[in-house]
Amino acid sequence: MGVNSVFLLNVCEILHMFDWEDCRSFLALAETGSLSAAARKLKVDHVTVARRVAALEASLALKLIDRRARATALTDEGLRLAALAQQFVQAEESVARYVRAASPEIGGEVVISAPPGIATRLIAPCLIELRAAHPP
């Protein structure tokens, strides 16, 4: 087994140690500096962020934030995990971009706003051609 294979096995082992959504909550907390700001960023309740961060700490058996501090402060382990987890997020985004770019299909919703005359004479014929070239 090569070095890359061993690395991938270790990464897979690590990824199964915790719930990725717990890690996303932790990252939001690390980036924003407070439970309420992290909750706003994730569009969830601050209690959910606190619960998820506590679950991540329990699953990793690490203390990631200092709860005694007036403001949310990351421990040394929390700082290291935040840096590593951010690398995973960047890798996940790279994979998603690659998959979208490699897909031969176009997709998504298009909203066009135009005066009626332009919409009828210029845009509608183009949309008919587009639809014929790329049926649903």
Q: Is the pLDDT of residue 118 over 90?
A: no
pLDDT of residue 106: 67
What are the angstrom distances between the C-alpha of 55 and each of 22, 62, 71, 85, 117? 7, 10, 20, 16, 58
pLDDT of residue 14: 57
136 with 88, same domain?
A: no
23 with 58, same domain?
A: yes
42 with 100, same domain?
A: yes
Q: Is the pTM of this model over 0.75?
A: no
114 with 52, same domain?
A: no
96 with 119, same domain?
A: no
17 with 60, same domain?
A: yes
115 with 134, same domain?
A: yes
53 with 31, same domain?
A: yes
Longest dimension (CA), the chain: 66
pLDDT of residue 17: 66
Give CA–CA dist 125/122, Å, rounded.
6
23 with 83, same domain?
A: yes
pLDDT in tens, 75-109: 999 999 999 888 888 888 888 888 877 877 766 77
3-state secondary structure of 74: strand
Per the structure, the complete domain to which residue 44 belongs is given by 3-104
* Count: domains in the chain: 2
93 with 114, same domain?
A: no
Are the beta carbons of 57 and 97 closer than 8 angstroms?
A: no
42 with 22, same domain?
A: yes
Q: Is the pLDDT of residue 5 over 90?
A: no
pLDDT in tens, 33-77: 999 999 999 999 999 999 999 999 998 889 999 987 677 899 999
